[in-house]
Structure 1
């Protein structure tokens, strides 16, 4: 990695480990193996680096989620693939944990990529659920918008429960629970027919 990348990656690690207030410019420089002059040549300071780090994390999470949610299968299968993908559950969600950092939340620029990521995820899930309803996979009573918000909230709650118990079991149970609720909304055979010409998530 070049110097800017090393600085950004070091900032991401320190944000995760110490939070914004515990992340000093000196610590970033030491971990990145970069001098003060080099750091300030590429970035205006700690807030600028934090923004770059949070934005990179958000971009990576979006790319992974989009790949899973736009893959093959029914709406429920694609959501299951997303929810059950490999995660470092006990460390928590790298974006969700930032909502507990008062310094990040107090700064509109740092809060924006966090807020936008959750809004984006809810919109993607809403699209998958709406497609499933159009195709006749899910019954018409399911509301895509509120269900998408529920999935995101349950997922974040699963991280909290797992960290509190120091076990991944609560997270697995939460995922199984939300998928069970989706299964309960599976359309009965013959109850509805897919919309002809319905567009997929990425069309």
Structure 2
């Protein structure tokens, strides 16, 4: 082969790939990989996860009671109510008897003092009177302790809840208002709504 042919063949052969064709700069150091994109604020985006309610999954609802269980509950409630009614019917007479005994025992001292006063019937009449007054005061105190205080006040306005008018009188003092209690014929015991009896009184009439 002639020298011209060898030169032509050598000129038609492509040159070997150099570093420039692979993007490597002279010196042999490859470029660094591009970093992942970061959103504004500097915090990389985390992969999304499925949301879970706080405290774990919600508990399953309790099964509703069946008809047999409801019937059993109903029968038990009826049995409890019947037992309560029987117990109340059994205890009620005992409670009433205990209350009667308590009230009767409160009057025993009054009876004792009456008998003591009768045993001194031949003594000084003034002593007998003082003894009877003491027994009366003791009886009033017993009623007050049972919740029925005595009311025998005069000079107070007429109260239909406490008083019962048995007579009407003229006022001895012109300044006394009409309807004022001027005399107590029979004392009353108790309070409005809870009294043994109202006080029987005489009140002043209207002038005219």
The normalised TM-score by structure 2 is 0.20
Larger helix percent: 1
- Name which one, 1 or 2, has greater alpha-carbon Rg: 2
The normalised TM-score by structure 1 is 0.20
